[in-house]
């Protein structure tokens, strides 16, 4: 099982490569029960929680330039 420190380090690495417009909606506390963060090009970014809740992050669609710039 992953320790809290390992989880925090991995989370920091993940947030470091995410588009800024997505990061502004994410806090460490809001990721307690997250099973995935969806960043599909041409769609709104989403966070999917273990209880089935799907949370849309903002109103801007993900573009390919956010990953390849």
Q: Which residue has the tokens 């989370």?
A: 11
- Residues 35 and 48: beta-carbon distance below 8 Å: yes
Question: What pLDDT, on a 0 to 100 scale, did the predictor assign at position 6?
Answer: 66
Task: Confirm if 14 and 31 have CB atoms less than 8 A apart.
Answer: no
HSE-CB at 25 with a 13 A cutoff on CA atoms is: 15
Q: What's the CA gap between 6 and 50, in Å, rounded?
A: 20
Give the model's pLDDT for residue 2: 62
Residue 11: the pLDDT is 77
Question: What pLDDT, on the 0 to 100 scale, is given for residue 68?
Answer: 73
Convert the pLDDT of each residue in 3-61 to its tens digit. 666 666 677 888 888 888 888 888 777 778 888 899 999 999 999 999 999 999 988 99
**Domain locations along the chain:** 4-68
Residues facing 35 on adjacent strands:
none
65, pLDDT greater than 70: yes
């Amino acid at each position: 099982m992953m320790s809290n420190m390992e989880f925090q380090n991995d989370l920091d690495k993940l947030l470091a490569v995410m588009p800024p417009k997505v990061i502004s909606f994410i806090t460490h506390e809001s990721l307690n029960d997250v099973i995935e963060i969806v960043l599909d090009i041409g769609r709104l970014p989403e966070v999917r929680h273990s209880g089935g809740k799907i949370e849309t992050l903002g109103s801007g669609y993900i573009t390919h330039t956010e990953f390849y710039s």
